[in-house]
Amino acid sequence: MPRVQLRLLAVPVVLLLVVTSSILFVEAQRSGTDTYAITNARIVTVSGPVIERGTVVIRDGLIAAVGADAAVPADARVIDGNGLTIYPGLIDANTSLGIPEPSPSPSPAAGQGGGFVAALLRPATSSTTTSNSTQPAGLQAETLAEDLIKPGGDPIEAERSAGITTALTAPRTGIWIGQSALINLAGDTPQQMIVRSPVAMHVGFTPLRGGYPGSLMGVFATLRQMMLDAARYREAQRVYEQSPRGLRRPSPDRSLEALLPVIEGRMPVVMYADRERDVQRALDLAQEFKLKVIIAGGSESWKLADRLQKENVPVLLSLNFPRRTTAAMPEADPEPLRVLRERVAAPKTAGKLANAKVRFAFQSGGMTTITDLVANAAKAIENGLSKDDALRAFTIGSAEIFGVADRLGSIETGKIANLTLTRGDLFDRNSRVTHVFIDGRPVDLRPVTATGPGANMAAGSWTLTVDLGQGELANTLTLQQEGERLRGSMQGALGSVDIANGSVGPAGEIRFTVPVTLEGQTTEATFTGTITGNEMKGAVNITGRAPGSFTGRRASAPAPPAPSGTPAPPGNISVSGSATNLIFTFERD
């Protein structure tokens, strides 16, 4: 080849090489942070059968591949999923995440009555007040969650660390509370967080403070009147636009405009209702105005399960189960039977809804300890809900209710890469969330902080010596501990009985009661004391007798539970208790 031609050829060749290498370089930079592969993991896709050992490939925020044989791209960051289970990112179906708490009301002006009662009477000020709205705060249906959310913050981080990747968020207060948004719990800007907005109009049945409506009756009248006004508003606008001459112009009203999709059935309405009669009132109102209603809360919704199923009404079921918060006090009035029944019935609701084929999703219901969310779902599983249904209620079931089942809620190619990885089964008491991916990127998780008493401060077998002023009585006390609660039994000179009302505090304060038979009579003895290491001592109070004292010694502390990163070897775990209350005791061999 002539030399000149070669040289000419060299230029485009070099150019080509430079360009392609720079492209490759850029590609390498991008995929260096955007492509992940989790290998050797157990994959619970929800949309299909469980893959016992497989790989999930994430690229560019989406799931690129799922399967037992999915190929790991060369540029992927590999996470060894051995011992881990991958779930679709959990969805919390009703929160106020990302929406800052409203600022407290300004201090009272001079001349106005101050103090608590005056503050009660002042209309609730809210940072969500739009200046030119025709309605007072609480009735501004035009309020959009997407306008209010701010990224980051403590509540979002806490929820993420519990394995939740997505949440429906709406403002906290009001009658027409506002229009909710479905957000991913990661992102630097509100826009990056939003998955879908608006999702639904949220309605609460709490009267406004200071002004009409001031009662539940007024709330219903207001809802009705505004929906009628919205229908008329639409008609008035239509007639005026067709031919304005000769007609006074209808006044614009953003709040009524925001209600149009609601009364036309295009936007669902989430109504907050827990008690049976509240759920019934919500359903009746929805029927009256032909609304597409979703019930949020729903603790007694199972009583209307047939109607919910027939009218195709989904439930955003709160897992914030009620529990007793008052201390034991013998002089106090006994709690009403209704309250006792409600607390016991709460974990059974999900199972009953599932049996009646009512669609439902789980929500945190305002719980303060977010780790209770999955723990209470586990309780629901112990009370008649199948594990599959529980998982669906956290994932695809929730996505279907919010109209995003085509992009979220299961591990399928092409869907948004929201994943929750756990060591151990998600609903297992000892499992731990190890990784969370949101929009294809891993998020930082908070370390699990231990609060409350040490896990085995009180558990074990104790030798108790009780002194009631008539010589010492020897007993053996066997205790099992879950968190703050104690169960167990006492054998010996005072009889062979189960203990009741057992509790232990973080500093080792122990308390329990036993029925005791003394001189042929059965009464109750209350033991209160402190545990230090393997010793315990304190006082014994028996109704109708002088108080006594007791000391106790534990032979050896039981082995502390294996750190939840590694499962305990099978031979050392014993399981006791009824199906509703599994207790794991780790016994030294």
Partner 1 sequence: MKRTATARILLLTVVWCTSWINVPAQQPRPAEPNETLIRNATLLTITHGTLENSDILIRRGKIAAIGKGLKAAADARVIDAGGKFVMPGIIDCHSHSMLDAINEGSLSVTSMVRTRDVLNPNDVDLYRALAGGVTSLNLLHGSANAIGGLNTVVKIKYGHPIDEFIFPGAMPGIKFALGENPKRSNSTVLPGVTRRYPGTRMGVEEVIRDAFTRARDYKKTWDEYRAAVARRDKNLIPPRRDLQLEPLVEVLEGKRYVHAHCYRADEILMLINIADEFGFKVKTFQHVLEGYKVAKEIARHGAGASIFADNWAYKIEAYDAIPYNAAIMTRAGVVVSMNSDSDERARRLNIEAAKAMRYGDLTEEQALKLVTINPAIQLGIQDRVGSLEVGKDADLAIWNGHPLSVYSRVDTTFIDGEIFFDRQQDLAQRADLLKERAQLEQAEPNRPPARGVSPQAPRGRRPSHADDDLWEGDIYQP
In the window 494-553, what residues touch partner 1 (CB under 8 A)? 500-501, 503-505, 509, 511
Q: Are strands 84-88 and 77-80 parallel, antiparallel or unpaired?
A: unpaired
- 2-10, 219-227, 258-266, 529-537 -> range binding partner 1 (CB under 8 A): 219-227
| Least separation in angstroms between CB 79 and partner 1 | 38
Structure tokens at 373: 């969310």
Long-range pairs, 429-432, Cβ under 8 A, ≥24 = 429/375, 429/378, 429/582, 429/584, 430/561, 430/564, 430/567, 430/584, 431/564, 432/564, 432/565
Contact 570, 562 (CB under 8 A): no
Residues 333, 339, 341: CA angle, nearest 5 degrees: 125
**Of 99, 185, 85, 83, nearest to 418 (Cα)?**
185
Query: What DSSP line would sit under 508-564, residue for residue?
Result: -EEEEEEEEEETTEEEEEEEEEEEETTEEEEEEEETTS--EEEEEEESSPPPPPPPT
Pick between residue 333 and residue 519 the one whose CB is nearest to partner 1.
333
Structure tokens at 210: 């200071």
303 binds partner 1 (CB under 8 A): yes
Q: Which of residues 15-34 bind partner 1 (CB under 8 A)?
A: none
- 84-92, 191-199, 224-232, 422-430 -> range binding partner 1 (CB under 8 A): 224-232
Pick between residue 14 and residue 339 the one whose CB is nearest to partner 1.
339
* Candidate list 211, 252, 366, 565; residue touching partner 1; CB under 8 A: 211
* Candidate list 2, 104, 106, 246; residue touching partner 1; CB under 8 A: 246
Pick between residue 239 and residue 559 the one whose CB is nearest to partner 1.
239
224 binds partner 1 (CB under 8 A): yes
Please, what's the b/e burial string for 541-554 (b: 16 or more CB within 10 A of its CB; e: otherwise)? Answer: ebeebeebebbbeb
337 binds partner 1 (CB under 8 A): yes
Report DSSP state, residue 18. Answer: H
232 binds partner 1 (CB under 8 A): yes
- Using left for φ > 0, alpha for ψ between -120 and 50, and beta otherwise, residue 408 falls in beta
The sign of the torsion formed by the CA atoms of 26, 28, 29, 33 equals positive
Pick between residue 68 and residue 217 the one whose CB is nearest to partner 1.
217
* Candidate list 107, 243, 251, 368; residue touching partner 1; CB under 8 A: 243
- 92-100, 136-144, 228-236, 251-259 -> range binding partner 1 (CB under 8 A): 228-236
φ and ψ at residue 463, rounded to 5 degrees = -100, 120
- 74-82, 187-195, 241-249, 399-407 -> range binding partner 1 (CB under 8 A): 241-249
* Cα–Cα distance measured from residue 2 to residue 4, given in angstroms and rounded to the nearest whole number: 6
Pick between residue 528 and residue 551 the one whose CB is nearest to partner 1.
528
225 binds partner 1 (CB under 8 A): yes
327 binds partner 1 (CB under 8 A): yes
| Least separation in angstroms between CB 326 and partner 1 | 4
- 51-59, 126-134, 218-226, 544-552 -> range binding partner 1 (CB under 8 A): 218-226
Structure tokens at 338: 């209704």
* Candidate list 77, 172, 254, 343; residue touching partner 1; CB under 8 A: 343
Structure tokens at 484: 């703050």
- Residue partners of 588: CB distance under 8 A and separation at least 6: 556, 558, 559
Contact 488, 498 (CB under 8 A): yes
Structure tokens at 49: 């059968």
CA distances from 160 to 379, 442, 519 (A): 21, 11, 58
Strand partners, 273: 297
* Cα–Cα distance measured from residue 159 to residue 420, given in angstroms and rounded to the nearest whole number: 12
- 21-29, 46-54, 332-340, 428-436 -> range binding partner 1 (CB under 8 A): 332-340
Q: Which of residues 306-325 bind partner 1 (CB under 8 A)?
A: 306, 321-325
- 53-61, 179-187, 233-241, 465-473 -> range binding partner 1 (CB under 8 A): 233-241
Question: How many CA atoms lie less than 13 Å away from 468 in the CB half-sphere?
Answer: 18
| Least separation in angstroms between CB 467 and partner 1 | 25
577 binds partner 1 (CB under 8 A): no
* Candidate list 11, 332, 450, 575; residue touching partner 1; CB under 8 A: 332
Q: Which of residues 384-443 bind partner 1 (CB under 8 A)?
A: none
* Cα–Cα distance measured from residue 203 to residue 173, given in angstroms and rounded to the nearest whole number: 9
Pick between residue 219 and residue 417 the one whose CB is nearest to partner 1.
219
| Least separation in angstroms between CB 545 and partner 1 | 23
Total number of residues that touch partner 1 (CB under 8 A): 72
Q: Which of residues 109-168 bind partner 1 (CB under 8 A)?
A: 111-113, 117-118, 121
Structure tokens at 60: 């560019």
Q: Which of residues 55-114 bind partner 1 (CB under 8 A)?
A: 108, 111-113
Pick between residue 214 and residue 403 the one whose CB is nearest to partner 1.
214
304 binds partner 1 (CB under 8 A): yes
Q: Which of residues 276-295 bind partner 1 (CB under 8 A)?
A: 276-277, 280-281
- 64-72, 98-106, 297-305, 543-551 -> range binding partner 1 (CB under 8 A): 297-305
Pick between residue 2 and residue 334 the one whose CB is nearest to partner 1.
334
Pick between residue 221 and residue 559 the one whose CB is nearest to partner 1.
221
Query: What DSSP line would sit under 66-117, residue for residue?
Result: EETTPPPPTTPEEEE-TTEEEEEPEEEEEE-TTSPPPPPPPPPPTTS--HHH
* Candidate list 191, 215, 369, 572; residue touching partner 1; CB under 8 A: 215
* Candidate list 65, 133, 173, 220; residue touching partner 1; CB under 8 A: 220
489 binds partner 1 (CB under 8 A): no
| Least separation in angstroms between CB 318 and partner 1 | 14
Contact 180, 95 (CB under 8 A): no
- 196-204, 226-234, 385-393, 540-548 -> range binding partner 1 (CB under 8 A): 226-234
Structure tokens at 137: 């705060």
The sign of the torsion formed by the CA atoms of 512, 513, 517, 519 equals positive
